[in-house]
Structures are given as structure tokens and as C-alpha cells.
Amino acid sequence: MTTNSFQTQEGFLSTSTGEHYFQPTNCTKLNLLQKIVSTAEQLTDKQRSYVLKLGAARARDIVPIQDLNLYRELLKLEMIVDKGRRLALSQLGRQVYQHLIDEIDSE
């Protein structure tokens, strides 16, 4: 079963049934990579260490955050999401975490 799809705007595709979904193009992949690198470079040492701790945690592990300013900064950067009892990395946060790990491994 195939559905016809057509490009509606940069990276967004629409099927003949009216459903919309995102498929990154080369341009948006490049923009995303630039955003990941620039976000990783602007992190402070405290932010970087917390992102690394949170990224290394398993699915239901709770990584406490003592500094509310750090919490607010990471939320503002859209690096973490508040899941109620625990914090988790956002999609951008996971990508930045992976970039930081790759950076550490290459050293």
C-alpha cells in the first residue's frame, strides 16, 4: 500500500490523506548539525557535566539536580524535559549528549 506524498514546506511532507510528517532534507540536517554543535559549545562546565550524567543514566534512573539555576538554564536551552519525578534529555539534549561523547572519544 503506497500513498502519494508531496512536499508542503522545508522538510515537511503531506500524504494524500492529509497527514503531515517531518522528513529532514539535507539542508535541515545541516542546520540541525550546526545547532547541535553550537549548543554543545555554549554549554558551561556544570551544564556539560549534568548532560553527560543524565545521558549516561538508564531509563528510570533519577539524577538529582541541586542547583535550580542549572535546571532553569537547561530547560531554557531545551536540553532537558521534566518528567515529574525525574528529568530526561530532550531530543536535542540526546543529540548534544551524543556529540559530546563523540568529542570525548576522539580526544
Spell out the per-residue pLDDT of the chain, length 107, in tens: 444 444 444 455 555 555 555 555 666 777 888 888 889 999 999 999 999 999 999 888 899 999 999 999 999 999 999 988 899 999 999 999 999 999 999 87
pLDDT of residue 33: 84
Assigned architecture for domain 43-107:
Orthogonal Bundle (1.10)
Q: Which residues does residue 5 pair with via DSSP β-bridges, in sequence order?
A: 15
* CB contact set of 13 (below 8 Å; sequence gap of 6+): 5, 6, 7, 20, 21, 22, 23
Q: Are strands 87-89 and 80-82 parallel, antiparallel or unpaired?
A: antiparallel
pLDDT of residue 30: 76
Spatial separation of the C-alpha atoms in residues 65 and 75, rounded to whole Å: 12
Domain boundaries, the chain: 1-34, 43-107
pLDDT of residue 4: 46
